[in-house]
Structure 1
Amino acid sequence: MAQLVNPHVAVFAFPFSTHAAPLLTIINRLASSSPKTMFSFFSTAQSNNSIFCTSQSTPPNIKAYNVDDGVPEGYVFVGKPQEDIELFMRVAPQNFSKGIEMAVEDSGRKLSCLITDAFFWFAKEMALENGVPWLPFYTAAACSLSSHVYTDLLRETYGVGGTVGREDETLNFIPGMSNVRIRDLPEGIVFGNLESFFSKLLHKMGQVLPEATAVFINSFEELDPDITTDLKSKCKQYLNVGPFILATQPPSVPDSHGCLAWLDKQKPATVAYISFGSIAVPPPNELVALAEALEASQVPFIWSLRDKLKVHLPNGFLDKANGIIVPWAPQTDVLAHGAVGVFITHGGWNSLVESIAGGVPMIFRPFFGDHRVNGRMVEVVWEIGVIVESGVLTKDGIISGLDLVLAQEKGKKMRENLWEIKRVAQTSVGAKGSSTENFNKLLALVCGQN
């Protein structure tokens, strides 16, 4: 195979939510596998400082570059949804272009490949202009990727805003999505504000991703075989290269609040771990309901809750309940601990993958984006968790969910399903597994092999 002498890959990270960290994880792996390839990694200063400061050792052929966050000097935020994302995205094409020029000058190497977060649909044109492959990374699951790729067909089928009264119809005409209902779709596809900046971004993304050289995701083919087959027919190349958490050893993180030592004192598969990620925040009444359910059930728990939100909890809650509240927890290690029996979560893809790796059933409280469709797959297709009754946290709903997962036969079956899914996932990242084969295909594209 012919290979470029000095490959130079530009990497564009989306600096919000938990997009940049998993992208850096796969770039670290690519960089370690191809030490002669230079990777210029672009994100905002805040994002880079956050993801590069972990103990994750960065190979020497990765160089971080900061791009502007797009917030004008003296700008006052007005509280519009995704305001920070819109400001960033409006100037991102120009800022990334300037960044590439700087990296090319610094390294003395012409650009040979462009890897970006899938949200950066405009990167297709940048790659064409530079005559290089475009490899977008979709950070969520195959089911949500499929819903975005099919946005135009969904709108033709249901009309814009024409889903009232049809919310429970299933998407039988989309391969692998026959158990997904209209109500489970991400906002901005057929309901919600279809004219918002973010909805238009996702729509454009769904239209252009099939034109990319290859689309890759942090999953494994065997989890969604029908969706995988379909997306392979839609995209030039569609590569499942995960789960990252099983393919590479996650970086060790400090357990500064003693979560693991506390878990060591608990009985196996009895503890509820609670975390709603870095963005989603349950309203105060739901925090109260969750606290009351934990107190009433006496299920031992670790609750990752920011200090400023503790004010909403009932007086004396921690004195009566059987658990600890911490501002931050080493989630991967917590979910891998044998004492943890259930994960109460918002249902983001990264958390879901970590739960699979730990073999822990989930109780979903979905908020936005891919949470609902992930929850539907977890509950109905993979049968490894449940969505909380009525989709919001209520005292009775949480008590019922905890009992189901921790004490009933159905919960035991969920754990068995999880261990089987984890076994298949481990095989996929093994020496001859599908994800390893797909990673090698991705590596060949990155190194300029043809």
Structure 2
Amino acid sequence: MGSSECHVAVLAFPFGTHAAPLLSLVEKLSAAFPSARFSFFSNHDSNSTLFGDRNPGAGKIKAYDVGDGTVAGEASVIHEEFIMAMPGNYQTAIAEAEAEMGTKFGCFLTDAFLWFGGDLAAERGGVPWIALWTAGACSVSAHLYTDFVRSLVGANPNGNGLEQKLKVIPGMSEVSIGEMPGEILAKDLQASFPGMIYNMALKLPGANAVVLNSFQKLDPTITDDLRSKLQKVFNIGPMILRPPGTPKPPISDDHNCIPWLDSLPPASPAVYLSFGSALTPPPDEIVGLAEALEAKRAPFLWSLKPHGVKHLPKGFLERTKEFGKIVSWAPQVQVLSHPRVGAFVTHCGWNSILEAISFGVCMICRPFYGDQQINTRFVESVWEIGVKVEGGIFTKDETMKVLSVVLDSDRGKLLKENVVKLKGEALEAVKPNGSSTKDFQELVRLLNDSF
């Protein structure tokens, strides 16, 4: 093997929305560090979706397929077979790439889920391991406190402790044990997915840096605590926001969402509903949502897959066609940045939260799994930029209540003021002298110094 000059191994977790932010980071790094090459390792479905006919980084980013036991066409579904095959499946692909190039990798940039990144770096003489956490500071902090949280649950074996607030964890005083990510409270921490996350929590302190798609002023107390536990923490987000003067990417809007929003009267704020690429509410909740939207008669744009549309009440589409639009996919960034949008009904995935903050839109939250519960608590009780549906389930009455809170009440005005303030701080963070820009420059410096 020859030198490792300026060649970075990028290891993606190929499910859900994990790989796309990592590729976005790599493209940004490639532009800032033009002498570097990046080899991007993910499974076939993920690479096909991300790369297609694109040539990211002007050819300096090359995709390599990682073998797995997944089924073609199910890239959004997490398969135990893939997790059980780690890290061997990545090691095989990495060895093939190194043999092809005749050089060893000089740095490993991985999704934080891939806890073995440090081991792979150590095998190559202790080159740097940089981990990207694709969610928020609150959830990665929660995972680092897994053993402590589980000890609190163990002290209340009857389950009475789940309502206990985690006041002793910095920045978590509003969060209850029951709102922690589900993997923390899993019965078996050795099961495939909880085991992967637990291993990550144990290994992350060994990473040379942990990168967050967030900004310093969003969670300063938690970020300071993370910096006491991890070697380096870089907040480089919101990655969706581009510095002034940066050309906007082309919009794909096959369903004419933006012209439809343009046509709405300014006095009637629209409700945008979307639950990410992998989630559809249960049939009874789709009915509850639909009944509330019809009764409220506020303009609405609803991104709902065909298998969800079939559960809408009979005649709903016809009765609401004057003020509602349902599409199978919407350009979410452009929708949330549209001045007509006044509320975002969401599952509270991290990307959706950051996008809502970046464009100053209040949220109505219905979390399902993973980090969505803790994200929701921060939206409602820490940042105060949205509300959770009472009981965590969409019914007609509860949905009507939260729509009225956000769109028509004094509390809704306060929520709007708070989210607009956070929007301003996010915009400041990505300016040339902003905190996220400086953290990104530090990340580039770390990468540059490793070669």
State the TM-score, normalized to the length of structure 2. Answer: 0.93
Q: 1:97 aligns with which of 91, 98, 107?
A: 91
State the Cα distance separating 1:252 from its structure 2 match.
Answer: 2.6
State the Cα distance separating 1:8 from its structure 2 match.
Answer: 0.6
For each residue in 1:197-253, what CA deviation from the matched residue of structure 2 results, as whole angstroms up to 9, or x when unmatched?
211111111111111111111001111011010000000111111110114666333
Distance 1:297 1:137, change over 3 A: same
Hey, what's the Cα distance between the residues in 2 that align with 1:136 and 1:27? 12
For each residue in 1:298-332, what CA deviation from the matched residue of structure 2 results, as whole angstroms up to 9, or x when unmatched?
11111101112211111110111221110100000
Matched, 1:381 2:382: yes
State the Cα distance separating 1:109 from its structure 2 match.
Answer: 3.4
Alignment-mate amino acid for residue 79 of structure 2: I
Q: Which residue of 2 aligns with 1:22?
A: 21
State the Cα distance separating 1:449 from its structure 2 match.
Answer: 4.6
Hey, what's the Cα distance between the residues in 1 that align with 2:235 and 2:190? 31
Partner secondary structure for residue 234 of structure 2 = strand
Q: Which residue of 1 aligns with 2:216?
A: 221
Partner secondary structure for residue 441 of structure 1 = helix
Q: Which residue of 1 aligns with 2:35?
A: 36
Matched, 1:162 2:160: no
Distance 1:150 1:247, change over 3 A: farther
Q: Which residue of 2 aligns with 1:338?
A: 339
State the Cα distance separating 1:160 from its structure 2 match.
Answer: 7.9
Hey, what's the Cα distance between the residues in 1 that align with 2:284 and 2:77? 26
Alignment-mate amino acid for residue 126 of structure 1: L
Hey, what's the Cα distance between the residues in 2 that align with 1:415 and 1:102? 52
Q: Which residue of 1 aligns with 2:118?
A: 124
Hey, what's the Cα distance between the residues in 2 that align with 1:35 and 1:302? 41
Distance 1:329 1:183, change over 3 A: same
Hey, what's the Cα distance between the residues in 2 that align with 1:308 and 1:424? 39
Q: Which residue of 2 aligns with 1:437?
A: 438
State the Cα distance separating 1:373 from its structure 2 match.
Answer: 0.4
* Residue ranges of structure 2 left out of the alignment (5+ in a row): none
Hey, what's the Cα distance between the residues in 2 that align with 1:365 and 1:418? 18
Deviating more after overlay: 52-61 vs 363-372: 52-61
Q: Which residue of 2 aligns with 1:294?
A: 293
CA contact (8 A) 1:211 1:235 kept: yes
Hey, what's the Cα distance between the residues in 1 that align with 2:433 and 2:210? 21
CA contact (8 A) 2:236 2:439 kept: yes
Partner secondary structure for residue 135 of structure 2 = coil
CA contact (8 A) 1:272 1:302 kept: yes
Q: Which residue of 2 aligns with 1:259?
A: 257
State the Cα distance separating 1:445 from its structure 2 match.
Answer: 2.0
For each residue in 1:76-119, what CA deviation from the matched residue of structure 2 results, as whole angstroms up to 9, or x when unmatched?
x9xxxx98431112223122112222222333432100011111
Partner secondary structure for residue 183 of structure 2 = coil
Distance 1:245 1:56, change over 3 A: farther
CA contact (8 A) 1:187 1:193 kept: no
CA contact (8 A) 2:36 2:60 kept: yes
Distance 1:160 1:48, change over 3 A: farther
Q: Which residue of 1 aligns with 2:136?
A: 141
Q: How many residues align?
A: 440
Hey, what's the Cα distance between the residues in 2 that align with 1:85 and 1:161? 33
CA contact (8 A) 2:83 2:193 kept: no
Q: 1:88 aligns with which of 82, 86, 94?
A: 82
For each residue in 1:120-147, what CA deviation from the matched residue of structure 2 results, as whole angstroms up to 9, or x when unmatched?
1122211111121111111000000011
Alignment-mate amino acid for residue 162 of structure 1: P
Q: Which residue of 2 aligns with 1:406?
A: 407
Distance 1:56 1:323, change over 3 A: farther
Matched, 1:310 2:278: no
Q: Which residue of 1 aligns with 2:226?
A: 231
Alignment-mate amino acid for residue 157 of structure 1: L
Alignment-mate amino acid for residue 441 of structure 1: E
Q: 1:202 aligns with which of 197, 200, 206?
A: 197
CA contact (8 A) 1:255 1:330 kept: yes
Hey, what's the Cα distance between the residues in 1 that align with 2:158 and 2:216? 31
State the Cα distance separating 1:163 from its structure 2 match.
Answer: 6.6
For each residue in 1:17-63, what CA deviation from the matched residue of structure 2 results, as whole angstroms up to 9, or x when unmatched?
10011111111000011111010001111111112248795432111
State the Cα distance separating 1:271 from its structure 2 match.
Answer: 0.6
Q: Which residue of 1 aligns with 2:236?
A: 241
Partner secondary structure for residue 161 of structure 2 = coil
Q: Which residue of 1 aligns with 2:107?
A: 113
Alignment-mate amino acid for residue 252 of structure 1: P
Deviating more after overlay: 124-133 vs 290-299: 124-133
Alignment-mate amino acid for residue 299 of structure 1: A
State the TM-score, normalized to the length of structure 1. Answer: 0.93
Taking only aligned residues, the RMSD between alpha carbons, in angstroms, comes to 2.2
Deviating more after overlay: 320-329 vs 82-91: 82-91
Matched, 1:189 2:184: yes
CA contact (8 A) 1:341 1:361 kept: yes
